[in-house]
Amino acid sequence: GDAPELQLDFKESLSKIAKVFNKAFSNLKDSKKIDNQIKELLIENFFHTARALALAVEARDPYTGGHSDRVFQMSTALGKRCNITPIEQLYLEGGSLLHDIGKIGIRDGVLLKPGPLTDNEYKEMQLHTIFGAQIVKRLDCLQGCVDAILLHNERIDGYGYPYGLKGKEIPLIARITSVADAYDAMTTNRVYRKALSHEHAIEEIIRNSGTQFDPEIVKEFTKWWEDAYGSKKQRTNSNHKQVHA
């Protein structure tokens, strides 16, 4: 009720589905074309559902909403660079958008605390991965996203959570989401600390390659970073030289 734009999205999607099925029953000669249209509509509704859940988290914690969108954008670009399959790309995009959905189950005193967490509070915060997986498992259309939601805080060296998985035991979409999640967290202002610069954040990602992050994904991430930020920095420096000249 608090998101009229989502209501409109779903209403339009359901209308499209109805029209496609009407066409399917009236003209079976176009079955292949109609089948493709149905697949496109299912994907569209997949993301409407994911977006609705992301908005639910944002209502609790505004930081999480913006953060999830940025992690989604980075993970989407990174997945394409890693040449994953189309279905993996779909689940990566949905999972990265919803990677923090479990925070809806974390109490305000921990989720919104304006300072570092105690050990016990940190353990409670870690439960958000399990809560998130439990939520998404109930929705058939999003079950493929569970790996990114449940396991994006695992580490390559086995010291992550919730299960302490190592290396390739961690699904690829979770390893990709992990890098994007950490980078955005470092470059975003929080109540208890200021954001790192993009340069400092990428240095931290590289420094933790092979321990926290998959080295191959870090390699692709640094290429993406150079395209996204390195070229901008070079243009800025070039413009400054022209001004001073």
pLDDT in tens, 133-163: 999 998 877 889 999 999 999 999 999 999 9
Nearest to 133 by CA among 107, 108, 105, 101: 101
HEC string for 10-77: HHHHHHHHHHHHHHHHHCHHHHHHHHHHHHHHHHHHHHHHHHHHHHHHHHHCHHHHHHHHHHHHHHHH
pLDDT at residue number 236: 47
In single-letter form, the type of residue at position 174 comes to A
Does residue 238 register a pLDDT over 50? no
Token representation of residue 25: 């029953």
Backbone angles phi, psi at 190, to 5 degrees: -120, 170
Largest CA distance in the chain: 71
What pTM did the predictor assign? 0.79
Q: Which amino acid is at 1?
A: G
Q: How far apart are CA 113 and CA 154, in angstroms?
A: 24
The predicted-structure confidence for 86-106, as pLDDT tens digits, reads as follows 889 989 999 999 999 999 899
**Average pLDDT, stretch 64-73?**
85
3-state class (DSSP) for residue 156? coil
Model confidence over 104-127: pLDDT tens digits?
Answer: 899 999 988 888 899 999 999 999
